[in-house]
Structure 1
Amino acid sequence: MRSFISWMGGKNSLKKEIVKRFPATEFNRYIEVFGGAGWVLFHSERHAETEIYNDFNSDLVNLFKCVKYHCPEVERELKFFLNSRELFNDFKDSYNTAGMTDIQRAARFFMLIKTSYGSKLHSYGCVKKDIPTVVKYLEIVQERLSKVVIENRDFEDVIKTYNKPKSFFYLDPPYYGTEKYYQVQFSKEDHIRLRKVLEQVKGKFLLSYNDCEFIRELYKDYNIEEVRRPHNLHTKYKDKEQEYKELIVTNY
């Protein structure tokens, strides 16, 4: 199963590599601490008794919640939207207008993601999208999310709340040195805070990061594996020079 959106730093190109590195031992809680587009959550066929999707971006969480709880209403809202530069600019300019319902806001945020360049929400992408097909897929997404708890909390709160011996945390934080590209601020101190919180994890965690000296030093006491992925915007060209090294860090 695929995600219904793209997102900055999304794990579409690495989801298979990540899932096959899930711990062999049993876990009854699965927590995506930095949920984003949820590529790993949707791709994995190994479901835990309790599954949590968390993200600190309230717009993203509102979209996920509305698809889970109000999918028909979101579909009806999207039915009348066209893929055009004019509509994109209108949604971008009026997104924070007071008085919109959560469903209206979710539908507009969905369209901003789908029609923006690189799903970065800043500029119109000029790419043809089959919006009706995408909207129909939301029903499948709703079924998957019906079994998932959706949270909108700081990563430290989420880790501490679900920290049990049989918990498995997957973490995909904003990559070090690229924080300015994300909607939510994440400082160097936050990277260090994350490392300290993970020291207290009673279960297992898998962490994906960009390959840099700071991260390698920060997690030198854990298992670090180097993997390669194509640049998201250049995947279709199969250009090996566009491959990037990333790190997978585990405590098992």
Structure 2
Amino acid sequence: MRTIAAPFIPWVGGKEKLVPYISQVLPPNAHQLLDPFGGGGALTLGLPTCPSRLDIYNDFNRDLVNLFVCVRDCLLSLLRELDFLPLHSRAEFDDLKALLAHDALPPEEMESWEEKELEIASSFPEEDATELIAILKGKAELRNVRRAAAFYKTSRGSFSGTRSSFGVKRNNIRRFRYQLERASKRLQDVVIENKDAMSLIPERDVPNGIVYCDPPYYEAEQLYEAEFGKRDHVRLFHVLKACKGYVVVSYNDCPYIRNLYKDFFIITLQRDNPMAKKKKSVYRELIITNYDPRQFWDKQLDLFEEPGAKWTMDLVHIPRKVLKQ
């Protein structure tokens, strides 16, 4: 499968490499696709548009949603900002910090800043990074282009896009322009929301729609910014079990999640793990559905390769009763 666009920002738990698998079990004639834990937007961006399908991207992180809105609606302004956000000194870092705190820069400083066309570099000491992250946790107004540029840059300049650890790392933002342009085109037909996923799912659930959930992984919640505990996993299960539409969930493979979703179909997606010290070690993920995925499954696509690893896909659990016919 050839994806339409790729995620333009690194994000914990990104599904870019799994889109070919997830997409092949999706009902092809659905009238709506809801991505309530949108994150980097791998599935939403990767799927081609369909005139008869309404696509909805949602995330609880307001800065992330602001960035998506700006990529969709204000791309030229955003690209201009990304060309003019240098950070080569403590003074420039303070300017960025003031921007994220919604403090306006004096006009003379603004003009001076915009005259600089420099290659962007990120070098945040730990104490500065902590201060910056605290500001980013505040609320952003949607279509705030300068804040979106700052959020994008700090994500690109951090390890794995977490913004929780920063190091010396050169980032020429212009390298990512083509990626942003493709994403902007794809997002033109996408509704972008900034709501709590648990509330949005029943609100947007329709019989001929798809709800694709990629929640924080069980016992890996500390890697995500949003708080999501064991009770939230249970709450999500009950919300999804009550859905009238088609439900698809991505999870890490563990006994707790398998047992929790025993009323659903469960598919394992696994590959050899060349990074593990043990021989024949494998890495597994789950794709969980409330309908029989075999009716849409293209068996010719159930194996694909990436450097050093082979992915395989197997249906490992069939419930006694099918929730969605």
SS of the residue aligned with 2:212? strand
Q: What is the CA deviation profile of residues 99-152 of structure 1, one whole-angstrom value per residue up to 9, with x for unaligned ones?
A: 987222111110111111111112225555442021343222212111101011
Contact preservation (8 Å) 2:124, 2:168 = no
- Counterpart residue number, 2:211: 169
Are 2:285 and 1:246 equivalent residues in the alignment? yes
Are 2:148 and 1:106 equivalent residues in the alignment? yes
Instruction: Tell me which moved more, 84-93 or 40-49.
Output: 84-93
- Counterpart residue number, 2:269: 227
- Counterpart residue number, 1:36: 39
Q: 1:10-89 counterparts in 2 under 5 A?
A: 10-24=14-28, 26-45=29-48, 47=50, 49-81=53-85, 82-86=120-124
Gap change, CA 1:89 and 1:51, over 3 Å in 2: farther
SS of the residue aligned with 2:238? helix
- Counterpart residue number, 2:11: 7
Look up the equivalent residue of 1:197 and give its one-letter code.
Answer: V
Q: What is the CA deviation profile of residues 157-188 of structure 1, one whole-angstrom value per residue up to 9, with x for unaligned ones?
A: 21111111111111100001011111110011
Gap change, CA 1:45 and 1:107, over 3 Å in 2: same
Contact preservation (8 Å) 2:198, 2:239 = yes
- Counterpart residue number, 2:223: 181
Instruction: Tell me which moved more, 13-22 or 122-131.
Output: 122-131
Contact preservation (8 Å) 2:249, 2:287 = yes
Look up the equivalent residue of 1:72 and give its one-letter code.
Answer: L
Any stretches of 5+ residues in structure 1 without a counterpart?
none
Note the C-alpha offset of 1:250: 0.3
Look up the equivalent residue of 2:179 and give its one-letter code.
Answer: Y
SS of the residue aligned with 2:17? coil
Look up the equivalent residue of 1:39 and give its one-letter code.
Answer: A
In structure 2, C-alpha distance between the alignment counterparts of 1:99 and 1:36, rounded to whole Å: 17
- Counterpart residue number, 1:209: 251
Q: Which has the larger radius of gyration?
A: 2
Instruction: Tell me which moved more, 43-52 or 146-155.
Output: 43-52
Note the C-alpha offset of 1:191: 0.6
Q: TM-score under structure 2 normalisation?
A: 0.69
Contact preservation (8 Å) 1:78, 1:135 = no
Note the C-alpha offset of 1:93: 3.3
SS of the residue aligned with 1:13? helix
In structure 1, C-alpha distance between the alignment counterparts of 2:287 and 2:59, rounded to whole Å: 20
In structure 2, C-alpha distance between the alignment counterparts of 1:229 and 1:12, rounded to whole Å: 15
Root mean square deviation, CA, Å: 2.8
Contact preservation (8 Å) 2:123, 2:169 = no
Contact preservation (8 Å) 1:88, 1:115 = no
Contact preservation (8 Å) 1:13, 1:230 = no
Look up the equivalent residue of 1:84 and give its one-letter code.
Answer: S
Q: 1:122-141 counterparts in 2 under 5 A?
A: 122-124=164-166, 126-141=168-183
Look up the equivalent residue of 2:57 and give its one-letter code.
Answer: Y
Gap change, CA 1:154 and 1:72, over 3 Å in 2: same
In structure 1, C-alpha distance between the alignment counterparts of 2:23 and 2:168, rounded to whole Å: 33
Q: TM-score under structure 1 normalisation?
A: 0.87
In structure 2, C-alpha distance between the alignment counterparts of 1:114 and 1:150, rounded to whole Å: 22
Instruction: Tell me which moved more, 56-65 or 137-146.
Output: 137-146
Contact preservation (8 Å) 1:92, 1:112 = no
Q: What is the CA deviation profile of residues 208-230 of structure 1, one whole-angstrom value per residue up to 9, with x for unaligned ones?
A: 00011110110001100111257
SS of the residue aligned with 2:227? coil
Aligned positions, number: 247
Q: What is the CA deviation profile of residues 187-241 of structure 1, one whole-angstrom value per residue up to 9, with x for unaligned ones?
A: 111111111111211110110000111101100011001112577xx88x9x986
Contact preservation (8 Å) 1:230, 1:240 = no
Taking only the aligned residue pairs, the percentage that are identical comes to 37
